[in-house]
A and B are shown apart, each in its own frame.
Chain A
Amino acid sequence: MATPTRSIANEIQLQVREKRPFTIFTVLKNRWFLYAVSITAFFLVWDTVAYRRVFGGGLARPQEVITQLGKMMVDPIAGKSLLGHVWASTQRILIGFSLASIVAVPLGLMMALNRYVNAFVRPVFDLLKPMPPIAWISIAILWFGIGEESKVFIIVVGTFVPCLLNSFNGVRLIEPQLYDVVRMLGGNRRDEIIQVCFPAAFPAIFAGLQISLSIAWTCVLAAELVSSRSGLGFIIIQGMTLSRPAQIIGGMLVIAVVAWGMSLLVSGLEKYLCPWKREVMNQ
């Protein structure tokens, strides 16, 4: 967006605050009040549904989930406590994610900067791109067995695509005026790349990393669901085989928290590393 827009919500709130002091109506329309109502209602409905056994024992009550989480913290499952399983999944993601980004980001930059590299890599990449990473699980197991390598391989395959595409597009979508400025000031091709390309493509690269991270979570879970002895996917699938819904839901909650924390970490890193990024409308 060329012109900075203000959130509509701000505008409405200001008006409401001026016009209406403190009535039941304003309380009912207060955002935080509604949030609280929503969360409470969610847990109440969940508890009622679980208590009435609408899904025939396929849903645990919230307090059972919390008890189960506490139990998993202390009692190890398959030789590892809950934190151990969290670390097992995180470790796989970190290895696969860093391998993929170390190869894919420079490759994407090179493809954008050099037509010949692009012409050579692009067709093969386009050929492999439409296959969902989860479809690679079977072949990964055929190649690497059911150990760590196959899981890391799937994560690498899954995260490679968004990393490469985003760094490629990041360079491609740089405003041409920026190049003109550097040329006017007497810079050569090298200056263009170092002074303009890298800093301008940085936000796009980070957006790619952010997408990769969520895909990495999907991949690692899928791999662990198919075959594994550790990790959060294993906790969920074991909950299924032992028909313990509390364990499944507990595992899902832990996944949500860890995935959310990791994406928060990446966006924090982005703010720290590239403060020149323009503020985009918050979602």
Chain B
Amino acid sequence: MAYEEVKVKTPLGLRVLPFASLLLFFGTWQAIIDFGVVPNTMLASPVQVFKLFLLKLTDPNPDGAVLMRHAWTSVQEAFTGYILSLLVGIPLGLMMGWFVVAEGLARPIFELIRPIPPIAWIPLTIFWFGIGISGKVFIIWIAGIVPCVINSFVGVRMTNPTLIQMARTYGASDWQIFRQICIPSALPMVFGALQIALAYCWTNLVGAELLAADNGLGYLITMGRRLAMPDMVVLGMIMVGLTGVIIGVIIDYVEKRLLAGIRR
């Protein structure tokens, strides 16, 4: 070998500490309930949550559906809204970045709607769509569209001006420049939007379900509160976090595959 391989040793403390901290976290959580520091009506211990998790896999009581069905409903709603927001938001943002007319027409309305948190749309949505799936999809759509538009807009605007001038010199039309220079150069930013939009969608899904739902993970949490079952609340929270992580990993994988052919 031409060069010697250098091994950097991590100190023992650094390797042990993460496990120690997790152990301490769960230990304290279990202990404050076992020793009655926090009453069991307010918080459930990890063991109880795990038991309920096993039970809920098969038992639809007391909230009317098994765990997987709740999760599936939520994922379905989130994905419909997410895909719709991508389909509308990315082309809109790209157009706004290049065409003056598109920017002039769309930007004021976008700026007007942008600062309103998607959660604030819930009451109007209930008026318009009822509490069915379409209302939730609408809220998720609004949540996801903002990062899509902003990222693709900025992506087009950050195109290297030299490239555009070069294309002009060679007599390219506006449309050709947009299609062959602006869009490819904006792609990394657009793919960045995938992840951000997903996080927004998932957060707001829970909000939408907290208020009006009869199915889904947010509904599981609300029912846990209504029935005063802290283990169900915690289970719902953990499931929301877990499902979010799983979807995030999938999107991350897709993003990596799509980005593989693009050099930045």
User: Please, which residue of chain B has its CB at the minimum distance from the CB of A245?
Assistant: B127
Given A7-B157, A31-B103, A35-B107, A132 contacting B17 (CB threshold 8 A): no
Interface of A is mostly: helix
Does B62 sit within 8 A of A, measured CB to CB?
no
Chain A: minimal CB distance from B251 (Å): 13
Which stretch in A66-74, A104-112, A217-225 binds the other chain?
A217-225
Does A276 sit within 8 A of B, measured CB to CB?
no
User: Please, which residue of chain A has its CB at the minimum distance from the CB of B158?
Assistant: A281
Instruction: Let me know if B210 and A222 touch, CB within 8 A.
Output: yes
- B46-61 CB mask vs A (1 if < 8 Å, else 0) is 0000000000000000
Given A139-B233, A226-B211, A240-B123, A120 contacting B17 (CB threshold 8 A): yes
Does B20 sit within 8 A of A, measured CB to CB?
yes
Chain A: minimal CB distance from B37 (Å): 13
Instruction: Let me know if A137 and B100 touch, CB within 8 A.
Output: no
Chain A: minimal CB distance from B52 (Å): 15
Instruction: Let me know if B104 and A132 touch, CB within 8 A.
Output: no
Instruction: Let me know if B116 and A131 touch, CB within 8 A.
Output: no
Instruction: Let me know if B161 and A11 touch, CB within 8 A.
Output: yes
Number of A residues contacting the other chain (C-beta, 8 Å)?
Answer: 71
Chain B: minimal CB distance from A117 (Å): 9
Instruction: Let me know if A132 and B221 touch, CB within 8 A.
Output: no
Does B234 sit within 8 A of A, measured CB to CB?
yes
How far is it, in angstroms, between the C-alpha of A130 and the C-alpha of B243 when the chains are bound? 9
How far is it, in angstroms, between the C-alpha of A42 and the C-alpha of B105 when the chains are bound? 10
- A2-39 CB mask vs B (1 if < 8 Å, else 0) is 00011111011000000000000000011101110111
In B224-243, which residues have CB < 8 Å from any A CB?
Answer: 224-225, 228, 230, 233-234, 236-238, 240-242
- A53-79 CB mask vs B (1 if < 8 Å, else 0) is 001001100000000000000000000
Please list the residues of chain A having a beta carbon within 8 angstroms of any beta carbon in chain B: 1, 5-9, 11-12, 29-31, 33-35, 37-39, 41-42, 55, 58-59, 115-116, 119-124, 127-128, 130-139, 141-143, 214, 217-218, 221-222, 225-226, 233, 236-237, 239-240, 243, 245, 248-249, 251-252, 255-257, 259-260, 263, 281, 283
In B204-222, which residues have CB < 8 Å from any A CB?
Answer: 204, 206-207, 210-211, 218, 221-222
- B34-45 CB mask vs A (1 if < 8 Å, else 0) is 000000011100
- 20 A-B residue pairs with Cβ-Cβ distance under 8 Å, sorted by A, are A9-B100, A29-B101, A31-B100, A38-B105, A38-B106, A120-B20, A132-B202, A133-B203, A137-B210, A138-B233, A142-B228, A142-B233, A214-B117, A236-B120, A237-B123, A248-B124, A248-B127, A252-B116, A259-B115, A281-B158
Does B83 sit within 8 A of A, measured CB to CB?
no
Instruction: State which of B17, B105, B112, B115 has its C-beta within 8 Å of the C-beta of A34.
Output: B105
Does B244 sit within 8 A of A, measured CB to CB?
yes
How far is it, in angstroms, between the C-alpha of A98 and the C-alpha of B161 when the chains are bound? 42
Instruction: State which of B101, B127, B150 has its C-beta within 8 Å of the C-beta of A58.
Output: B127
How far is it, in angstroms, between the C-alpha of A231 and the C-alpha of B235 when the chains are bound? 30
How far is it, in angstroms, between the C-alpha of A134 and the C-alpha of B41 when the chains are bound? 21
How far is it, in angstroms, between the C-alpha of A222 and the C-alpha of B112 when the chains are bound? 21
Chain B residues with Cβ below 8 Å from A233 are 120
Instruction: Let me know if A124 and B25 touch, CB within 8 A.
Output: yes
Does B21 sit within 8 A of A, measured CB to CB?
yes
- Determine the interface band of chain B, counting residues with CB < 8 A from chain A: 35 or more
User: Please, which residue of chain A has its CB at the minimum distance from the CB of B100?
Assistant: A29
Chain A residues with Cβ below 8 Å from B236 are 135, 138
Instruction: State which of A11, A55, A134 has its C-beta within 8 Å of the C-beta of B206.
Output: A134
Given A1-B158, A35-B104, A245-B127, A225 contacting B119 (CB threshold 8 A): yes
Instruction: Let me know if A8 and B157 touch, CB within 8 A.
Output: yes
Does B71 sit within 8 A of A, measured CB to CB?
no
Does B250 sit within 8 A of A, measured CB to CB?
no
Chain A: minimal CB distance from B238 (Å): 8
Chain B residues with Cβ below 8 Å from A130 are 240-242, 244-245, 248
Chain B residues with Cβ below 8 Å from A41 are 105
How far is it, in angstroms, between the C-alpha of A137 and the C-alpha of B238 when the chains are bound? 14
**6 tightest A-B CB contacts, nearest first:** A34-B104, A58-B127, A240-B123, A119-B17, A132-B203, A130-B241
Query: A138-B236, A142-B228, A248-B123 known; 17 other A-B pairs, CB under 8 Å?
Result: A11-B161, A34-B104, A119-B17, A122-B21, A134-B119, A134-B207, A134-B210, A136-B237, A218-B203, A218-B204, A221-B120, A233-B120, A237-B123, A239-B123, A251-B120, A255-B116, A263-B115
